[in-house]
Amino acid sequence: MFKRSSGVLAHVTSLPSPHGVGTMGRTACEFIDFLADAHQTYWQVLPLGHTGFGDSPYQCFSAAAGNPYLIDMDLLVEYGLLTADEVRSGDFNASPDVADFEQLADTRWPLFRKAYSRVTPEMKAAIADFTEENREWLPDYALFMALKEEKYHHAPVYMWPEKDVRDRRPEALARVTEELRGEIDFRIFLQYIFFKQWNALRAHAKEKGIQIIGDIPIYVSADSSDVWTHPELFKLKSDLSPKLVAGVPPDYYSATGQLWGNPVYNWAAHKKTGYAWWIWRMKSNMALFDVVRLDHFRGFAAYWEVDAAEDTAVNGKWRKGPGMELFRAIEKALGPIPLIAEDLGVQTDEVRELLRASGFPGMRVLIFGFTPDYDNEHLPHNYLPNSIVYTSTHDSQTVCEQIMDICSEPEKQFAYRYLRTSHAEAMGWSAIKCVWASPAHIAMTTLQDLLSLGADARMNTPATIGGKNWRWRVRAEALNPTVATLLGDITKTYMRGYRQEEDSKDNEDENCDF
C-alpha cells in the first residue's frame, strides 16, 4: 500500500504564526509549500482534538471535535468576522518560540465570541448543514462543553452535581439544551470554522502533492463527551469516573510505568455493537487525513489495566484486547484503509502476530538504536521494508539531545561512528541520511531533527504534565529554501518519492554540452 517515500513530523501548534500558536492559516500553507519544495510526500501531525488539562493532544474532550486554538485568526478577518486591529489586540506579547496556552485561554475566547456575534445569515445556513452532517457527535459534544464550561464551572463529567444530567435523562437533557442554547450554538460555530479551515488546508496539501498522516490515540479522556454519551463502552463507576485506567508498565520512558488515567474499554460491549463506535471513529479520521497512525497498537492485542486508585502504573494487569476482530470489522465497513501501527516499546509474540496479520507497517526509531549492538532493530540497516521509520519522535529526545546529553560514552562513540559525525550541527542531517537510505517504505524526521536542535526543542516528556510539554514552536526563518533544497537533495539521492517529471527536468538542466 505504501511506496518508498518520506516526510516531516510537526504538529500544527509548532508552526510559525504571529498570534502565539501555529494555526491552520497562511503559515500552515507555507509549510506545505516548504514540504513540496523539499520533495516530501507526507506531513505528519499529532491529534487535532480539543485539548483539556495539560494541553496534551492525546487527552481531548472529544474523539471528533477540533481544537479551537488551531483556528487561524487572520482567516476570521477574511471572513468578515473580526478586524485586524481586534486580532492584534488579543496577541499581547505572543512568543514566536513557545505556545503559551494560558495566554491563549485568556485572549482567544473573547475574540471567538465577538466573531460568533457577527455570523451572517449565509453562514448560519452553512452551519446548519454542517450540524446535520455531523449529527452523530456534534450536538452531544457542544452540549457537553456548554455544561462543563458554563454551567458546571469546568468540573469533570464525573463531578457534575446534577445526576439526571450526568446520566442523560431525556427530560434533563431537554431542559439544559433549552437553557444553554446560545452556548451550544457557539460551540457548533467554532467546530464549523475549524473544519472549514482544515478542509481548505488539506485541499492545499492535495494540490501540492502532500499527504497528511493523522494520529488516533487508542484511548479517550475520562472527561470527554465520548464517555458521557457512551458510558457502556468503558469500564466506569456509577458516577462515570473510571474504575480501571490505562497505562503501560515500567519501560524505557519511566521506571514506574505510565499511568495515563484514561478509562479502558469494555471490549465485550464494543463487540456486541459490531465495533460501531470504532468504525465511526475511523471513518471520521479518514475524512480528515490520508493516512492514520494508531497510537499504542500494542493495546489492541493486550492492554495494561490499573485500578484507578493506584498512584503509579506498576500494579497493573495485562488484559486481552480485541485483536484482528476489530480490524476485520473496520475493513468490512470501510474497506481497506491506510493505517500505521505504533508498535514501540516491549513487544510480545502476540503483538508481533497481530501486526503481521494486519499487514500494517510498524514503527522504528533511530535514536533507540544507539547501543553498541548492530542487531538492534532500530538501526536503519535492520529496518523491514513494511515500516515507517523516524529519526526521533514527539515523545522522545531529539537526535542531538539523545547523543549529547543522554547516551553513555560507549553509546555516544557508537552513534558518532554510525552517523559518521561528532558535530552537533550535523547530527540531524546525518540521522536523516541514515534513515532515508534504509529499506523502509516510509522515512520520517521531526522538524527538530531537520534543524539539528537539542533539548530545548523537545515536544513532550512522557509521564509528565505541564512544564514545556507541547509548547515548542519553530521560527519562520528556519523553514528556508536552503533547508528545503538540502532535504530535497537527500530525498532525491535515496529515491524517496522524488517525482519523475522533476527528475527528468533536472536531468535536462544538468546535461553537458560537449
- Mean pLDDT in runs of 10 for the chain (514 residues)? 94 95 97 98 98 93 98 98 94 85 93 98 98 98 98 97 98 98 98 98 98 97 98 98 94 81 97 98 98 97 96 95 98 97 90 97 97 91 97 96 95 95 93 98 98 95 84 96 97 81 46 32
Distance, CA of 240 to CA of 364 (rounded, Å): 37
What's the 3-state SS for 452-497? CCCHHHCCCCCCCCCCCCCCECCCHHHCCHHHHHHHHHHHHHCCCC
* Surface-to-core class of residue 479, CB atoms within 10 Å of its CB (0-12 exposed, 13-18 middle, 19+ buried): buried
- Residue 71 has φ and ψ, to the nearest 5°, of -65, 130
Q: Are 187 and 141 in contact (CB under 8 A)?
A: yes
What is the DSSP code (8-state) at residue 149?
I
Three cell numbers at 162? 446534577
Q: Where are the alpha helices (DSSP H) in 335-480?
A: 349-358, 399-401, 409-419, 424-437, 447-450
**From 55, 223, 226, 395, active-site residue:** 395
Taken as a whole, the chain contains a residue count of: 514
Three cell numbers at 153? 464551572
* Surface-to-core class of residue 430, CB atoms within 10 Å of its CB (0-12 exposed, 13-18 middle, 19+ buried): buried
pTM of this structure: 0.95
100 catalytic residue (yes or no): no
Q: What pLDDT, in 10s, does the model give residues 28-39?
A: 999 999 999 999
CA pseudo-torsion sign 246, 139, 239, 233: negative
215 catalytic residue (yes or no): no
**From 140, 215, 223, 342, active-site residue:** 342
Q: Which residues contact 298 (CB under 8 A, 6 or more apart)?
A: 343, 345, 347, 351
**From 140, 215, 226, 295, active-site residue:** 295
- Residue 498 has φ and ψ, to the nearest 5°, of -65, 125
Angle between helices 181-207 and 121-133 (to 10 degrees): 80
Distance, CA of 279 to CA of 330 (rounded, Å): 5
342 catalytic residue (yes or no): yes
Q: What pLDDT, in 10s, does the model give residues 298-326?
A: 999 999 999 999 999 999 999 999 999 99
Helix (H, G, I), strand (E, B) or coil at 509: helix
Radius of gyration in angstroms for the set of CA atoms belonging to the chain, rounded to a whole number: 23
Helix (H, G, I), strand (E, B) or coil at 262: strand
